[in-house]
Amino acid sequence: MRCEVLAVGTELLLGQVVDTNSAWIGEQLAAAGVDCLLQVKVGDNLGRIVRALRDALARADAVVCCGGLGPTPDDITREAIAEVMGVGLETRPELVEVIRGIYAARARSMPESNLRQAQVPAGAEVIPQTRGTAPGLVCPLGDRVIYAVPGVPHEMREMVTRAVLPHLAARAGQRATIRSRTLRTWGIGESALAELVAPRLAALEPAGNPTIAFLASGIEGIKVRITARGAGPDPEYAADALLAAEEAEVRGLLGEAVFGVDDQTMEAAVGVLLAGSERTLAVAESLTGGLIGARLTAVAGASGWFRGGLVSYASDLKRDLLGVVEGPVVSAEAATAMAEGAARLLAADVGLAVTGVAGPTEQDGQPVGTVFVGLAGLGPTSSRRLQLAGGRETIRQLTVVHAGDLLRRALLHAAGSGAGGGGGGGAG
């Protein structure tokens, strides 16, 4: 079953309203095992809506048309569908009574314009409203079908769930689902990552199930999305089995570069490893000004492994509190002293520290974007020098993720794992 989504409304094209409806509908179609081939937005223009519907029907078995069912003159989805079907509009008396009843129940007088919502293309089936006044439509065209639903999100979602998805499933004739799993990576550029995964892309191409795609996500790294279609008596199980098998293949190629799955953040991955090894962490931050501590404490259960953090922004605090010796504070020596000092002062097993130059000017002879990350408590105290690109805020945010990744990999090595948990993406 192939389906397309057509969102109607000039406000969508002008950017006055963000089209979240199409994204939600696409997600629901995938969960129902329906291939969503294309999503299109079109303004409130009869000719363009008609052309968009005809183009969609030439490619797909079904079209979900969202919006344009209201009572105002620019709500012309009904007229467009009628033209595509080659029929006229007819007023359904039962819909008139329903709409009048809704207004009566609210003790409000009904504008006569609302009766436009009782007009239906001849031969169409009505999807009753439960939350508003605009009914939905099921409009057959031979072996194809157009579904029309309101653009109001809560009305649309209820109607799609109650009526459209079951109708599509019945037309498809078999139970199916499309599921995705996203592996999150750090430390590998997009092109290098694609080269590593190339053997799997070639192996999967003949069957086309599952599939692999890449999504660069800025300071959140690069995502590798695996999508599988399952069918049969237990489509969810079939899809999950394909996903699990392919995830193992991709992890085998990427190793430590994979730090999380789906919505798992770098700091959540670090928390899992700290909790699993029964270690505690303390941080000392300079250029990030508390961002590392904020992200760590956003993880549920962080109190079990995060002791606390010190924001030692001024140079004298680095020396007086953390034991940084006289000399440049943007240096490997300062970073390692800060990491050791944080662990010592906060009685933690592991110390993590960052110092650097976020801009706008250089410091201690180091150019903007220079960052040193110090790590103590996982073998010999060590540091890593980074040279990051971007503006001040970008450098600060990248530092947080890079520091987390350094810690994550060190925890993996300390546990003797060396693979499968972490790392990667694009930056700096």
Cα end-to-end distance, the chain, whole Å: 43
pLDDT in tens, the chain (428 residues): 899 999 999 999 999 999 999 999 999 999 888 999 999 999 999 999 999 999 999 999 999 999 999 899 999 999 999 999 999 999 999 999 988 888 888 888 888 888 889 999 999 999 998 888 889 999 999 999 999 999 999 999 999 999 999 999 889 887 888 899 999 999 998 999 999 999 999 999 999 899 999 988 888 899 999 999 998 889 999 999 999 999 999 999 999 999 999 999 999 999 999 999 999 999 999 999 999 999 999 999 999 999 999 999 999 999 999 999 999 999 999 999 999 999 999 999 999 999 999 999 999 899 999 999 999 999 999 999 999 999 999 999 999 999 999 999 999 999 874 433 433 333 32
Q: Which residues pair with 260 in a beta bridge?
A: 184
Please provide residue 74's backbone torsions phi and psi, each rounded to the nearest 5 degrees.
-85, 0
Can you give the C-alpha Rg of the chain in angstroms?
28
What is residue 426's predicted lDDT score, i.e. its pLDDT? Answer: 32
What is residue 417's predicted lDDT score, i.e. its pLDDT? Answer: 44
Which tokens in the block code for residue 423?
Answer: 């790392």
What is residue 113's predicted lDDT score, i.e. its pLDDT? Answer: 81
Task: Report whether 82 contacts 122 (CB < 8 A).
Answer: yes
What is residue 425's predicted lDDT score, i.e. its pLDDT? Answer: 35
Whole-angstrom distance, CA of residue 68 vs CA of residue 73: 10
| Amino acid at site 340 | E
Q: Name the region of 426 (left: φ>0; alpha: ψ -120 to 50; beta: rest).
A: beta
The domains found in the chain, sorted by start residue, are 2-172 (3.40.980.10), 179-261 (3.30.70.2860), 266-414 (3.90.950.20)
Cα 291–Cα 295–Cα 301 angle in degrees, nearest 5: 145
The residue among 172, 237, 185 whose CA lies nearest residue 212 is: 185
Question: Rounded to two decimals, what is the model's pTM?
Answer: 0.77
Cα 109–Cα 90–Cα 108 angle in degrees, nearest 5: 5
